[in-house]
Chain A
């Protein structure tokens, strides 16, 4: 049995518009000997929008997801910052408010489930760093990313608010986050230091406040480019979608030509560990990224 075994909450995006996130996550786990159980029963985390509509319903559905990780007796890992935050918020709410936990369990009993609070919830990024260890990852690098200046984009929901994250992020400080920078260095890439690395991409208001959304994404991308980034990497598929699929619109709004491949965190690790082109799935990007595979090995 592998020392590292987790229940994977894929989230909706990895099952639809970012299949490359799921395939690269599984490829990385495979290379590192991490055993993954996909929680095929898990539903959407609500992404904060269901929470806006009906907070109690969101808690019930998120508690149900966590129940399936508890049944396996495993930590639930996430590969999306927003899934991480919303699942962790439900766990925090239920573990600290017993009256709410009882109300939620009353509903879950109707489908034969019970939320106990026995499984931790942790983003895959922090699992890799905290549990697997950067040095152990470093030992497995076969394609050093030394050809690239890589801009880490942390994504809000992994680092804020601190009180929802404290124990799951090895105490990362939201004003001076370091995890992604350290991961990039471990893969022998060059981390780009820029002030927008911990700022918001605007994804969540894409529909109702498009201008705000695009200015926020644009400011971050331009800052990365002005600090010589060849590519950007993020642990959040929603940041990825905002910055990749809307890249040309964002460029128009901030008045700059932006051509910046935006990788998912596991894609970057997969690239450095020598995973296959198909597993890394750079063909699924809107902003051309396939060249990175050849450039990495050049």
Chain B
């Protein structure tokens, strides 16, 4: 095999929502060059094999976000991704797929309306009372600009959004792209809607507390933005700006401090009781009984006389560090 080119069979997901009952896969044989991009392969399928093959493309410079697809389940910005790299990674067996199979209109083209609805929902613009006839510039310092991290680099390609497993199950969830945008504008010093936006992203079911922490978004982003880092910042900001209400998710986060202060370890039984409240605990009784039968539960310290929670050595250090380092409160 030459290093310069490689003869391979490229598979592509095909489906026309107007005429097809089921999707199917078609194969295209071609010689792939070492500098060719996934976008080049799509162009060649269309130009050399089958003119009906459909996909979105525009800038060809990794900035418009139109050509985001998946290759063997891996989110891929077609105009940025070298084809040979993926052939190496997947052992010369690659299938071009749309970003979301359930939202396909035709072949690689999907209906992104859900993406834009979520984006709109977080009010992705600076909200401020601006003098229509300003006499001075609205200046940001470099430090203020840097506080937005790299969130402004998002090209709305949807790679993270359609890689998010939480969104796949829970259609109400805003998802990593919209939450990145929420962080972008909430951390902008010119913006005056901090609380309003933080309340939107606090909502149970839709907001940051429904993130499953899988880091798929960080892997998917072709601009290397790391959306989950911004989701983490939004979690913190809810406590900093006192938007966080006491609920099962926030008590679960704050409850870690309570446990660590007492034992150094997380008290696994206590965190469930503390997060759910005594009334919410009934949901977990069945699991608790199963775990007890298997010898998995240590009696929490709330049970008189039989506290067998382990404690770390030098617990006093941890207690002191909590006292002098903690900045947030629920």
Contacts and interface: CB of A to CB of B under 8 A. Distances in A.
Nearest to B217: A161
B318 interface: yes
Interface string A121-160: 0000000000000000000000000000000000011001
Contacts of B322: 57, 61
A170 interface: no
B326 A57 contact: yes
A72 interface: no
Contacts of A16: 265, 267-268, 296-298, 309-310
B216 A286 contact: no
B320 to A, nearest CB: 6
Given A55-B236, A57-B327, A216-B165, A47 B275 contact: no
Interface residues of A, number: 65
Contacts of A64: 317-318, 321
Contacts of A160: 214-216, 218-219
Contacts of A107: 321, 324-325
Given A51-B232, A207-B272, A212-B210, A286 B290 contact: yes
B291 A286 contact: yes
A131 B72 CA distance: 31
Contacts of A43: 260, 264-265, 312, 318
Contacts of A41: 312-314, 317
Nearest to A176: B89
A175 B72 CA distance: 9
Contacts of B169: 211-212, 215-216
Interface string A273-286: 00000000001111
B213 A48 contact: yes
B254 interface: yes
Given A52-B235, A64-B318, A207-B249, A245 B260 contact: no
A223 B244 CA distance: 38
A270 interface: no
A161 B230 CA distance: 14
B248 A12 contact: no
Contacts of B264: 42-44
B97 to A, nearest CB: 12
B23 interface: no
Most chain A beta-carbon contacts within 10 A, residue among B239, B253, B268:
B253
Contacts of A291: none
Contact of A54 (B73, B224, B239, B259): B239
A118 interface: no
Contacts of A212: 166, 169-170, 210, 212
A263 B93 CA distance: 32
Interface in B231-269: 232, 235-236, 239, 247-250, 252-254, 256-257, 259-260, 264-268
Interface stretch (A29-37, A108-116, A228-236): A108-116
Contacts of B312: 40-43
Interface in A54-73: 54-57, 60-61, 64
A19 to B, nearest CB: 8
A246 B296 CA distance: 13
A124 to B, nearest CB: 19
A53 B326 CA distance: 10
B112 to A, nearest CB: 22
B257 A286 contact: no
B216 A15 contact: no
Contacts of A85: 215
A55 B296 CA distance: 30
A46 B255 CA distance: 10
B296 A18 contact: yes
Contact of B317 (A111, A162, A208): A111
Contact of B321 (A15, A40, A50, A111): A111
B47 interface: no
Interface in B153-196: 165-166, 169-170
Contact of A53 (B253, B268, B317): B253
A41 B272 CA distance: 24
Contacts of A216: 165, 169, 212
Interface of A: 12-13, 15-19, 40-44, 46-57, 60-61, 64, 85, 107-108, 110-111, 113, 156-157, 160-163, 173-176, 195, 199-200, 202, 204-205, 207-213, 215-216, 245-246, 249, 283-286
Q: Which 8 A/B pairs are nearest by Cβ-Cβ distance?
A: A160-B215, A161-B218, A52-B235, A200-B214, A208-B249, A53-B253, A50-B256, A111-B317
19 contacts: A16-B265, A16-B296, A41-B314, A44-B265, A53-B257, A55-B236, A64-B317, A156-B213, A157-B215, A160-B219, A161-B219, A162-B219, A174-B219, A175-B72, A175-B74, A176-B90, A211-B169, A249-B287, A283-B294
Given A110-B320, A163-B218, A209-B210, 14 more contacts: A16-B297, A17-B268, A43-B318, A50-B260, A53-B256, A57-B257, A57-B327, A61-B318, A111-B320, A173-B89, A200-B212, A212-B166, A215-B169, A284-B296
